[in-house]
């Protein structure tokens, strides 16, 4: 989970991100991100984080909607596209390749973002071992 909001909800967002980074269970954080996205529905970072938590909690159909909102609001956000790709895989949607290719281009052009994305993927695999869809996305991104 990365990015930060530009709205007045920064405090709740920052607190929730801090708790996530300290190892809080996604179930404990989901309500905060539901509140953040309800209060600031045009804030892509909130949707990106909500989608990630929903994926961690094995709620791919919920995550699909959240990730689509995040990508619609910020098409350049590679984490949002990774979340959308994973949700699409887990819900048997078509069109994953397009999102993977965009993320691959971003990773080539911005090595610092590539490191953040790799850290995020590693974090997801630690929190949800054996996560096949995320493993597949990681393999594609490394190809």
CATH value at residue 88: 1.25.40.10
Half-sphere exposure (Cβ direction) of 26: Cα atoms closer than 13 Å: 17
Domain range holding 16?
10-142
Query: Does residue 83 fall inside a structural domain?
Result: yes
Q: What is the DSSP letter of 7?
A: S
Query: Does residue 14 fall inside a structural domain?
Result: yes
Query: Does residue 58 fall inside a structural domain?
Result: yes
Alpha-carbon gap, residue 121 to 75, rounded angstroms: 19
Q: Residue 86: count other Cβ atoms within 10 Å of its Cβ.
A: 29
pLDDT for the residue 143: 84
Spans in the chain with pLDDT lower than 70: 1-10
Query: Does residue 2 fall inside a structural domain?
Result: no
Query: Does residue 3 fall inside a structural domain?
Result: no
Q: Residue 72: count other Cβ atoms within 10 Å of its Cβ.
A: 13
Query: Does residue 5 fall inside a structural domain?
Result: no
CA-based nearest residue to 29, from 119, 105, 127: 127
Q: What is the DSSP letter of 128?
A: S
Query: Does residue 4 fall inside a structural domain?
Result: no
Number of domains observed in the structure of the chain? 1
Query: Does residue 121 fall inside a structural domain?
Result: yes
């Amino acid at each position: 989970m990365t990015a930060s909001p530009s709205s007045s909800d920064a405090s709740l967002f920052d607190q929730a991100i801090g708790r996530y980074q300290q190892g809080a269970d996604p179930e404990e954080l989901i309500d905060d991100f539901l509140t953040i996205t309800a209060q600031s529905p045009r804030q892509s970072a909130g949707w990106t984080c909500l989608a990630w938590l929903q994926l961690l909690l094995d709620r791919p159909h919920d995550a699909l909607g959240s990730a689509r909102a995040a990508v619609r609001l910020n098409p350049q956000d590679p984490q949002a596209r990774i979340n959308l790709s994973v949700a699409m895989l887990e819900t048997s949607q078509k069109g994953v390749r397009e999102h993977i290719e965009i993320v691959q281009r971003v990773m080539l052009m911005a090595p610092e973002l590539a490191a953040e994305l790799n850290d995020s993927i590693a974090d997801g695999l630690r929190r949800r071992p054996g996560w096949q869809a995320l493993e597949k996305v990681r393999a594609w991104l490394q190809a």
